[in-house]
Amino acid sequence: MTDFGFPDAEARRVVETALDEDLRDGVDVTTTATIPVSQTSLSHVIARADGVVAGLPVIELVLAAVASRMGAARPEVEVHVEDGARVKRGDHLATVRGSTQVTLVSERTILNILCRTSGVATHTRRWADQLAGTSCLVLDTRKTTPGMRALEKYAVRCGGGTNKRMGLYDVAMIKDNHKLAAGGLTAAYDAVRARFPEVPIQVEVTTTAEALESVGAGARFLLCDNMSPELLRATVEAVRATGEAVEIEATGGLTLEVAAEYAATGCDYMSVGGLTHSSPILDIALDLDA
């Protein structure tokens, strides 16, 4: 079993926010009117498409939160696959036994989160598979759904991707606007290093000359933005020739169709904002036994 580091506290916060949106005054008017409090049922969480599943612990978190709000017994959950597993259409992901009211009130919140995170994992797995056999890894970005970052980055890990920085606090990333405002690339680098000496610094570059200036300033992680494969290859070769241990990332406009070509340049990473901002959901359903 692989431990991808499920973000429990962040997931609980997302669940509570989602339930606040759904349960104004704490009532699901349809379920309350149609389902007796005493009714119990067996239901199944089922994949309706092939993909990679991520976020299964959310099922139990949502059911527990709803049961607490309703003052009802929490349904039991049996999970049949692990996060990160490839699943096929029709696969049973989990079984839920218990209060029908709690199950139905929980259904949409469970699926909203689980379909989203599994969609991110599925998309990421396509990239990881495309890069298999190379030395290049796929990275995510900060282009995440507000409030969902921890869960979406967890899903990236489940899909075989690697997280970049989690926020604006853990890594400094010097981009074009910072260079302009600070008076130049080297000035920006020196300012960050002086103010936050322990924080890793990454520098975005668009030319080989900028890359070499960054290395000269002390940068050991470069983001090569919107470079052609030819320019990226030349930049990688020039940076490697300095003898410094520099990590190099390709970023900007990357697609699965060109992934292998970019990996062949010798870059260490490709960052893909689309892993989180453009992944379609993985279709998953919750069905009660007839």
Q: Is 13 a catalytic residue?
A: no
The one-digit pLDDT tens for each residue of the chain (290 residues) are 789 999 999 999 999 999 999 998 778 999 999 999 999 999 999 999 999 999 999 999 999 999 999 999 999 999 999 999 999 999 999 999 999 999 999 999 999 999 999 999 999 999 999 999 999 999 999 999 999 999 999 999 999 999 999 999 999 999 999 999 999 999 999 999 999 999 999 999 999 999 999 999 999 999 999 999 999 999 999 999 999 999 999 999 899 999 999 999 999 999 999 999 999 999 999 999 96
Q: Is 82 a catalytic residue?
A: no
Helix (H, G, I), strand (E, B) or coil at 118: helix
Helix/strand/coil (H/E/C) assignment for every residue in 219-279: CCEEEEECCCHHHHHHHHHHHHCCCCCCEEEEECCCCHHHHHHHHCCCCCEEECCHHHHCC
The DSSP string of 55-73 is -THHHHHHHHHHHHHHT-P
Measured between alpha carbons, how far is 110 from 60 in angstroms, rounded to an integer? Answer: 9
Q: Which of 28, 107, 152, 204 is catalytic?
A: 204
- Specify the pLDDT at position 2: 84
Tokens of 86: 């490839």
Q: Which of 48, 143, 193, 220 is catalytic?
A: 143
Q: Is 48 a catalytic residue?
A: no
Tokens of 40: 């119990």
Tokens of 261: 């070509």
Q: What is this structure's pTM? A: 0.95
Q: Is 97 a catalytic residue?
A: no
Tokens of 38: 């005493």
Measured between alpha carbons, how far is 23 from 11 in angstroms, rounded to an integer? Answer: 18
Helix (H, G, I), strand (E, B) or coil at 50: coil
Q: Which of 188, 178, 143 is nearest to 279 (CA)?
A: 143
Tokens of 275: 């892993």
Q: Which of 83, 91, 107, 225 is catalytic?
A: 225
Q: Which of 48, 175, 220, 233 is catalytic?
A: 175
- Specify the pLDDT at position 290: 64
DSSP 75: P
- Specify the pLDDT at position 24: 81
Tokens of 117: 């995170």
Q: Is 60 a catalytic residue?
A: no
The Cα-based distances of 56 to 14, 30, 77, 157, 230 in angstroms read 14, 26, 10, 14, 42
DSSP 280: P
Q: What angle do CA 96, 102, 103 make, to 5 degrees?
A: 35
Q: Which of 12, 108, 220, 233 is catalytic?
A: 108
Measured between alpha carbons, how far is 163 from 152 in angstroms, rounded to an integer? Answer: 10
